[in-house]
Structure 1
Amino acid sequence: MTEITETENPLALEHQVCFALAVAARTVIALYRPVLEPMGLTHPQYLVMLALWEHEPVSVKDLSGMLQLEPATLSPLLKRLEAAGLLRRDRSTTDERSLAVALTPEGRELRNQALEVPPAIVERLGMNVDELMELHGRLTTVIAAATSSRK
């Protein structure tokens, strides 16, 4: 029996980009869980907070675009963060159909604790920052290519 090479078996699981990306995403997100837990955040909630710490106040529509999440996916995240006292959703003063999302003082204060997250993740990964920034750049290129191919 001869061994099938990568080029002879285009369906080999271990050679699939989608498989490597899916496993990498699950594994890296799992590293965040114990770091975020003391803050009372899940990883998706952390991403919402990152966007708000940088851009608040922001409309739900704009936040949805920043996070590349459907509004139906984002809405329950916002409700839980609002129930936790970290943000508030108010009707826009200029467009009653639009919701504006803003941080509460508690939500702004949580940013200080969140400053510890990136170095903790770098340490858990055991990779240097240059390697991670290179990986980020390559993933951003993959995202752009995949996004443009859907249009």
Structure 2
Amino acid sequence: MPYSQLQLDKQLCHRLYMASNGVIRAYRPLLEALDLTYPQYVVMMALWQQDDITIQTLLAKTAIDGGAMTLILKKMQTKQLLSISANEDDKRKKLIRLTQTGHALKHKAASVPAQIQCAFPTISQQDVHTLISLLDKVCGDLNQA
């Protein structure tokens, strides 16, 4: 076939697209039990790791688009998972803090990583570490471009 470089089965980008969609589908039932979407779960994991941070820090940690983050945070504030307040040192900056409800959700979410691992029965822990390393390289390369 002429233009064989355009065959779908030879494309890294398409495999990443399929994997991303598949992973989010696998998370959906687990996160529905927590009343979270996948992006909200990412925000919660970042805040469970480090609470009381600026929106800018949260954006850097999660790599979520700023416009999308605004909508995500508003929805999560409505769910009373976090609060948004002005930074006392710089009123232009907003601080994100988990509420008691947000902190309590961590206990319920603790089993999610092990449950999601069950969706990948043929992938070993070594494979996971290798994949993380490769994806970090992909993201690093793309961020430099």
Residue 102 of structure 1 aligns to a residue whose secondary structure is strand
Q: Which residue of 1 aligns with 2:115?
A: 120
Matching residue of 2:84: 89
Query: Which contiguous aligned blocks of 4+ residues in structure 1 show a shift greater than 6 angstroms?
Result: none
Q: Give distance in 2, aligned partners of 1:45 and 1:80.
A: 9
| SS class of match (2:92) | coil
Match of 1:27 in 2: 22
Aligned to 1:16, which of 7, 11, 14? 11
Give, in angstroms, the shift of residue 85 of structure 1. Answer: 0.8
* 2:140 aligned to which of 135, 139, 144: 144
Q: Distance in 2 between matches of 1:48 and 1:25?
A: 17
Q: Does 1:73 align with 2:68?
A: yes
Q: CA deviation at 1:32?
A: 0.3
| Deviations, residues 80-110 of structure 1 (Å, cap 9, x unaligned) | 1111011000111111111100000110111
Q: Name structure 2 gaps, 5 residues minimum.
A: none
> Hey, what's the Cα distance between the residues in 2 that align with 1:113 and 1:97?
34
Counterpart code for 2:138: V
- Deviation sequence 1:96-139 (CA, Å, 0-9, x none): 11110000011011111111000000011212222112111111
The DSSP-based 3-state class of the residue aligned with 2:6 is coil
* SS of aligned partner of 1:39: coil
1:101 maps to 96
2:45 to 47, 50, 72: 50
Measure the CA separation in 2 of the matches of 1:95 and 1:66. 21
Which residue identity is paired with 2:65? Answer: E
AA of the residue aligned to 2:75: R
Percent identity between matched residues is 28
Pick the structure with greater CA Rg. Answer: 1
How far is 1:55 from its partner? Answer: 1.2
Whole-Å Cα distance in 2 between the matches of residues 71 and 44 of structure 1? 12
1:40 aligns with 2:35: yes
CA RMSD of aligned residues (A): 1.2
**TM-score, normalised relative to structure 2:** 0.95
Counterpart of 1:125 in 2: which secondary structure?
coil
- The runs of 5 or more residues in structure 1 that have no matched partner are none
